[in-house]
Amino acid sequence: MPRIPTPPPGRLDEDGIVESFAHRMMYSVAKDEHTASPLDVHHALAFAVRDSLMERWFKTQSGA
């Protein structure tokens, strides 16, 4: 099986969190500031938080 590359870890400072949220809003929710509903914002933020949790979970599982 080919090796799956590991993405760089997300930053937990304010700018990093905003960047992760913006990425998820654009690429996962596919909305911008003009078309996003409050639920879309919630979903993008939930995806961004999940990404952060998953990074740590994978690190724990790999024994690193």
What residue ranges do the domains of the chain occupy?
Answer: 37-64
Kindly report whether the global pTM for this prediction surpasses the value 0.85: no
Is residue 12 scored above 90 in pLDDT? no
Query: Does residue 32 contact residue 23 with C-beta atoms inside 8 Å?
Result: no
DSSP class per residue in 29-57: S---TTT--HHHHHHHHHHHHHHHHHHHH
Question: What is the structure's pLDDT at 62?
Answer: 78
Query: Does residue 51 contact residue 20 with C-beta atoms inside 8 Å?
Result: yes
pLDDT tens column, 19-51: 999 999 999 999 999 999 999 999 999 999 999
